[in-house]
Amino acid sequence: MARFCDLKNSKPTEAVKALAEFGSKVTETFNANITSIYGGGAIRPLGTALFIEVASILDPNAASAADKTIAMLDVTVLKRDAKFVMATYLDGQVPEQTDILVHERIIR
C-alpha cells in the first residue's frame, strides 16, 4: 500500500500494479489465514466483516461496515435418511437437494 501511495502521482501505471498486488495479498491472507481455536474454518465468514473494516481504515471517507452490516442465517434441515456427512460442511461441502427437508435463508 505504501508503494501505491508513493507512486500514485508520479507513475500511475506502476501504482495500479502495486495496488493490485496489495489487494491480492490482503485477499489471500483473509481467505487462507482467518481461523480461530474456537471455530477453525467456521470463523472465516467474520473475515469479510474484518476485511471491510480494514478497507474503511485505508479509505476514511468510506462508511464503516458497522453502519451497513446485515446478517444472514441459513437454516437447513436434512431428511432423516440423508446421506450427507455433516463433518464435511466446514470443508465447503453442501448437501444434495435430495437430502434437504427444509432450507430457509433469513436476512436482516
What does each of the 108 residues of the chain score in pLDDT, given as a tens digit? Answer: 888 888 888 998 998 998 888 888 877 776 666 665 556 666 666 666 777 777 777 777 766 555 666 777 889 999 999 999 988 888 888 999 999 999 998 877
Which pLDDT value is given to residue 61?
Answer: 73
Compute the distance between CA of residue 37 and CA of residue 33 in angstroms, rounded to an integer.
12
Compute the distance between CA of residue 6 and CA of residue 99 in angstroms, rounded to an integer.
55
Cα–Cα distance list, 7 to 14, 17, 25, 59 (Å): 7, 10, 19, 17
Compute the distance between CA of residue 57 and CA of residue 23 in angstroms, rounded to an integer.
14
